[in-house]
Structure 1
């Protein structure tokens, strides 16, 4: 019995974005009395389907309501004159920022769930937290940082400001251009956020500005030939989508996908037939996942509709699968020691290799941004780690093309590989083994890291290990070593879910450092659970069974 590597399937998630949708029918929220100027959807899982909208008028109001029931949850009575033209929820979903159409374009932060209850509708009236004049010129976008309830950014006509909520006060710093050559303050139309306090803004002249704190550090000239109307960051992989005005060419059109530093671009043909394409809003795809099975197939599934979208025959039994960070490729490990790399859109084979004779137990793309762009492979997809039953983890450099050259391997692994996870910077990999030891190795040389102080400082891009001090509490009393097969920590890092030999799925707090920790249990599998993953937004868990041949989204 080899942990999670018994007969069954393994899966990994696509870094995709899920938009609010109500398939199969239309319904309406009818409480507004005038033209609606803005809408935003709360992204926090606690407030799923919570929407905020506002309208024009001399005494406008912001409505916070449930998209499923159409019930008004809160009514924010504004002092904005003429209307509200932008609203946005904070990271925890508890706060809402609004921008007025008044001459000062007043910015107000609300605690939308607080305040007295209205007798006529049983909705709350909400409470104002802070308010201040935003700018004398028009503001186009105001958005909270995705990890904050106190910091947000506003952009508009020839200005941008970095705001901080301090108690009941709103403080701001203007964006500082400095002495950067060819840079001047443009009218900014869009904003997106990156790691390490980076901010990206799209300008009316087609440039993208990259800011660290409130200082300009880079200028991406002519990211689009016309205005950059919209930007979107996928938090899981940091990739940035931009949409703007562009003349379509053989190289692409008005939608472009960039790496985390706005240094590498992939453009997309929209095939509209227009001389000039114009895109006003962008996001990233639907919620999909891939499974690979002992039946020799790989299958792509739609999570929301629970439907099979596509499948391909692999020719051999499969044991594990992993999406590349940009979602364009998927690597699949086989029972016979081979692994293949498929192009997701077509499911055609991009490359394959067999350096081992025993089963590939886990396979992972690097999560960090090492390397350089070569042969169409982005830096964040440079290395592929392949762990096998032969007590090995091999590293392959994808920038060398379909030859899939092995450039290093981990030494001194005492048993078969169970799970692997890269560090956030891509410098290290942790390996859980059949000897029930967790080891850390350097990438790509494979040297084992034994210094406790070094290991303690590593930030892991993901956590699927069933071993370590961080997960002691997931093991039940009197458990055999093989009883817990698989685990996965949420992208937010708050919870861990496990699958075991008894068909149970369990949810714990993370880290889980106390023995026999409290947890929630979920039933559905009749046999052992072979693998488990959270969706990109942590709203769903998908588990896969072995002998029962089932996958269960929940």
Structure 2
């Protein structure tokens, strides 16, 4: 978190109280209220007195990452989403967060002492600040102990593992660059660690790397077309022996690793088979065929010696005895949660299961599983807070509409709406939820029954934004086809009749606001225009000075007189995806293309304005909204699919 000076080229005209702002060289003329005191553009506005603190992270990354869910002695499970590592106590329903990363966390490892954690990230937006690296940190204090590999890793850290037979003095990491380099580090030597050795691991993708739990300096890696057994010798050279499948069918992918109590290596593959590799050898000793329909995504050797196998496609959990004889028990995860990505052993017979649809389930094989974490699995743009209650909805390209409770941090319900959603809005009385989709379709839902009340289609381009008028009698929809569609609302939000469409923008609509008296609409577009409209006639108000004293119900348009200072120097007009004003009109928050949430004092009329900025998202922040009582800010990350809840202090 830091103070960030925000400046760009602006010219103030004292005669008419207008500011000429340049976005990508294009002039935008903005008129302040007629009673406004003259501005000094050179003056720097201070940051707000309020700050934000990350309170809760909704979501999990199971879609494309492995070995990313563990239980700690504190009773917390540790996992990651976006650039945050989450420590979540499911029983006590409380979260802590490690926020040292600057971009997507891709892998995780727990030290044998169960106290220290390593997490690896990919390259970020800022090439200097966000090079791929591994961070080693204390899971109790959340203090960073070492930052390893910055400047040596190319693309992303795909696998990390602590040594186990020697008490965890070494850390091995695999880089996702073209050579998939494996490096071994003495991570405690100093705050950047000491690289003992590195070598090319494989021309093919590497999906897992594990130190052997009983044999010192032995590492096993696996991935596309291979399993490899490595030895770190006394001269710190790494020697590789490729796994030999002999006459048995060589799988396309070796997908996961585990070790039984004898020290034999167990590997799962893309054909649904489990292979046993006797300790100290690189030859397959035994093959258990057809355990799963599709790939084996996770193998876990449990405390009692049993082996649990999990399928990514079939969603089955199969429990074997220690010798992998006939299955003892099996169960299937409900399909809508996805396949099983990873299994972590909990306390007693409890298991935690990360799924391919970004859910974490908990339970046991006898009684079944219930969700502890739900999330979105595709790009997330739609976010709207209830006008009175501490609830919010999210809607994404995964066709999911989800209602959340911001106090209990739980999912109230999740619904497949069968359309890729781009935006959503509550009616002013909280009675209905409208969802705009990529197809140009928009639907209205009852939040209690979850039933669709009505649906309409406007154009064939995405509906980018929806806003109900303050009097709840109209709704405006901004489309990618450059038009704003205005409807009259009847029967408590269940019936709609089109009043007309606003023609005049020469690019797609990005944001819109209603005036407090529901008479006017203002809108921003992809070519940085700010236009004004008479809502009932859908006619453009061609004289901006005639509406300079209008009071606006919201400030979701980032290009306005009162938000001049949110734009950085040399900004592209598309850099800021979302803007919102607190209901008490004291703060403005923005979400940008660089994963940052920024907080300004409102109004932000000074071109040079200081702000507080916060990381955590790893993708473009697509939407920010204040809760009804302004106590919290919600932010949605596009590709990172996470929703973050920030506490305002």
TM score, norm. by length of structure 1: 0.47
TM score, norm. by length of structure 2: 0.40
Larger RCO: Structure 1 or Structure 2 (Cα < 8 Å, ≥ 6 residues apart)? Answer: 2
Structure number with the higher strand fraction is 2
Rg: which structure is higher?
2
